[in-house]
Amino acid sequence: MDFVWKTLNVAVLVAIIYKFARKPVASALNSTAQSAKQLVDDARSAEEKITSELSGMRIQISVLEKDAVEMVASAKKDAENEKARIIEEGRQELVRMKEQARFTLEQERRKAEDVLRNWIAEESVRLAEGKLKKEMNQKHQAKLVKNYMNQLKQYEGAA
């Protein structure tokens, strides 16, 4: 009999718990299921959002990589153009410097020729003056000797 009372007690307890706890437990289980479903839905939407953002970022990265490659190619092209321009300017400067040097050398040559002509003219005049002075002295001495001899002859003839 003790068993019957225990079984009856358990049955009454289960009936009381069922009557009072059925709605809260059912709503709790239902809300838990809905909450779990909502969490799964939120997780799926977050996953989809992250996947789409990741896809967008991959597209942006590929665009940025393409832009970077284009920038590098453009920079290389600009550098090569600048190099060619600098080389051409250097060549032009070299030609200009050669022409300037050629012109300067021609001017210096003409100047040296003028200086040499002037020096030759001055030396020629100096040498000619020296020679004329020497010849004049010799002629003058010869004339003096001749006059002296003539005077001596006149004295001899008078004596």
| Residue 111 covered by a domain | yes
| Residue 8 covered by a domain | no
| Residue 14 covered by a domain | no
Cα–Cα dist 48/55, whole Å = 10
List the chain pLDDT tens, one digit each, 159 residues: 788 888 989 998 888 888 887 787 777 777 777 778 888 999 999 999 999 999 999 999 999 999 999 999 999 999 999 999 999 999 999 999 999 999 999 999 999 999 999 998 898 888 888 877 777 677 777 887 888 888 888 877 665
| Residue 18 covered by a domain | no
| Residue 34 covered by a domain | yes
User: Structural domain tally of the chain?
Assistant: 1
Cα–Cα dist 80/88, whole Å = 12
| Residue 10 covered by a domain | no
Eight-state DSSP code of residue 87 = H
Domain containing 77: what range? 23-157
Q: How far is CA 93 from CA 7, 79, 101, in A?
A: 117, 21, 12
List the Cα angle 150/155/158 in 5-degree steps.
125
Tell me how far the alpha carbon of residue 150 is from its chain's centroid: 100
Please report, as a single letter, which amino acid is at residue 143: K
Model confidence pTM above 0.85: no
Q: How far is CA 142 from CA 48, 145, 148, 153, in A?
A: 137, 5, 10, 16
